[in-house]
Amino acid sequence: MIDVLDVHTHTLASGHAYNTIYEMVYAAKEKKLELLGITEHAPKMPGTCYDYYFMNLHVMAREILGMSVMFGAELNILDFKGTIDLSENILNEMDLCIASIHPPCFKTGTIEENTKAVMMAMNNRHINIIGHPDDARFPLDYSQLAAEAARTHTLLEVNNSSLAPNGYRVNSRENYCIMLKECMKKEVCIVMNSDAHTATDVGNHAFAAALLKEVEFPQELIANTSVEKFKAFLRK
Ligand SMILES: [Zn+2]
Ligand SMILES: [Zn+2]
């Protein structure tokens, strides 16, 4: 499978990740990626960086050691209205935005309430990707989710860390099987991401790629195959 990008990674700044931006870039170069996305956890995640970190990202070059780098945020979906935790003026400065549900920042509701929360986040023009929509602790209606992803031109993520044997999310594999079927039915694009919290994990999509192969997911619906194809999802 052609796979040239990894756009969901974390550095030291996220508080529970272990490498620097430069170490992540070196790792991306070693993996021969064409694009690396660095998306620190947004401020409501305990121990992460705060607003000023994101506000100041304009000082970072978008090409480092010959690698194209995008800087953004992994936002927390905070409630059933899809509220996220960075202000509009900061979001305007981000190269890309992921919105995810994380246990410390979201109190699970019914399947309808959780699905509404994620769908509302998709309707935010800044949100390009829904991160790890796979955790049975926050059940989602994948038919509705895929339909809204198509309508709002939002990518659904297949998160490699969720599928790893040491992953801590619940029933991810089973949920991805359902989600991927809905994506095929409705021709919705997905993106594989490592969600690397260490440099050694940058570009690691092994478990995600194996699952896509297993369900015979079509190449044309995988955003990792070209930077141009991925970037089309940055314009909502
Ligand atoms: Zn996350
Ligand atoms: Zn993450």
- Give the structural domain span for 148: 5-234
Distance, CA 161 to ligand 2 centroid (Å)? 9
Distance, CA 202 to ligand 2 centroid (Å)? 12
Q: What is the pLDDT of residues 7-26, one digit of tens each?
A: 999 999 999 999 999 999 99
* Average pLDDT of span 73-80: 98
Angle formed at CA 122 by CA 153 and CA 187, multiple of 5 degrees: 35
Q: What is the CATH number of the domain that holds 76?
A: 3.20.20.140
Q: Of the ligands numbered here, which is closest to the C-alpha atom of 100? A: 1
Question: Number of folded domains in the chain?
Answer: 1
Q: What is the pLDDT of residues 128-159, one digit of tens each?
A: 999 999 999 999 999 999 999 999 999 999 99
How far is residue 155's CA from residue 176's CA, in Å, rounded to a whole number?
A: 14
pLDDT at res. 236: 74
Q: Of the ligands numbered here, which is closest to the C-alpha atom of 101? A: 1
* Average pLDDT of span 30-49: 98
Burial class (CB in 10 A: 0-12, 13-18, 19+), 231: middle
How far is residue 101's CA from residue 8's CA, in Å, rounded to a whole number?
A: 14
Q: Of the ligands numbered here, which is closest to the C-alpha atom of 102? A: 1
How far is residue 163's CA from residue 161's CA, in Å, rounded to a whole number?
A: 5
